[in-house]
Amino acid sequence: MIVEKASEVLERYQLCDHCLGRLFAKLGKGTNEERGKAIRFVLNMERAKDGLPPVEEPKECELCNNVFDRIPELVENMKEAAKDVEFETFLVGSRFPDEVKEKEKAIWDEFGIETAEPINREFNRELGKAFGRATGKDTSKSPDVVFIVEPYSGKIELQINPLYIYGRYRKLLRGIPQTPHPDFEESVASIICRPFSRATGGKCVFKGAGREDVDVRMLGNGRPFILEIKRPKRRNINLEEIAREINASGKVEVLNLRFTTPDEAERVLSTPHRKEYLALVLVKEGVTPEEAEEVAKKLTGLEIHQRTPWRVRKARADKVRVRRVHYAEARWIDDKHFELRLITDGGLYIKELISGDKGRTKPSVSDLLGKPAWCERLDVLNVLDEERSEDSS
């Protein structure tokens, strides 16, 4: 049946071995070119038996215009397009003219062929194999680069996929915003991104798993963050050297740097984490050790209803969020100050938990004390992973 169908097609169209074999791509193994050669060989044996002349491969294919003969030239074009880019894995895509794809489908429909594959699929595969042999690079479903090839013009479009890096940062000084702000010379993001941009030759985008205020330090195990390096020219970078350069700033430290995937990056940024805080509470009307301990006792396990704080209402949706304080411990300092160590759900605003924010946070430390209280100083001690936060609470 294959030989009969091939004979019908070749009576109507002059096809190369690639295009002939591709009509029956879903049958058997091997390349389409090998398949086409085999079909043509068997067909010509049948024709010879009947005294008919052979159907030779045409000098010019009516469907693809011998585009597969251009693969060596296109491999060189791809190498030129990527000469300044460091990569180990790649994929190939192609843009074929609509008239070629439409003519191919018309042949399938005319002869009722259901075993074919599209020309671009075979072309991408064969060009990818040739490029891999020429460069020693490997194909991958998550490649470093993607080549988009226009087979007839020879034009190559190079897509450089981002590089993703996971880490945690400590902010050692107050007065540094997490991301760039016109009122500040530096930010956590700029201190971290600067050496990464130099090392990769790409654009560094910083994404933190939550954020702390400008006047709040981030200590302990550090806050998780993701760097997305767009269009990196160099991917083989030394993360330990970069970490040493960042840590030498004395302002920000990075921990646990490693390469990661887009999927893990998304999980890191979307997973809520409990936080451990240390707050210095000011009570101008005075506070006793017993009052401080009683506040901590009442806070532990307490559900907090917090309307978007007044100070961030323009940047955040105005709604009531329900969060929990999982643990609270007090240490009295003097007749106007005590420290609160807290473990809370992520997204709870601690300054407002203490002040009450004019009734927008209920209950608050001020409510529990029965007199106004303010957060005079705040540190994030740890960003807790779920399993650790369960233990801590």
How many Cα atoms are found within 13 Å in the side-chain-facing hemisphere of 64?
A: 23
Please, are residues 207 and 200 in contact by the beta-carbon 8 Å criterion?
no
Strand partners, 160: 145
Q: Is 169 annotated as a binding residue?
A: no
- How far is it, in rounded angstroms, from Cα 332 to Cα 379? 17
Please, are residues 106 and 12 in contact by the beta-carbon 8 Å criterion?
no
Please, are residues 253 and 222 in contact by the beta-carbon 8 Å criterion?
yes
Residue 325's nearest CA partner among 369, 357, 277, 272 is 277
Residue 269 sits at the vertex; the CA angle it makes with 262 and 208, to the nearest 5 degrees, is: 110
- How far is it, in rounded angstroms, from Cα 184 to Cα 89? 40
- In the set 17, 109, 144, 213, the catalytic residue is 213
- How far is it, in rounded angstroms, from Cα 5 to Cα 107? 12
Per the annotation, the verdict on 334 as an active-site residue is no
Strand pairing class (217-230; 203-208): antiparallel
**Which amino acid, 267?**
R
- How far is it, in rounded angstroms, from Cα 107 to Cα 174? 71
Q: Is 349 annotated as a binding residue?
A: yes
- How far is it, in rounded angstroms, from Cα 158 to Cα 80? 10
Residues at the annotated binding site? 277, 349
What amino acid positions are annotated as catalytic residues? Answer: 213
Residues at the annotated binding site for substrate? 277, 349
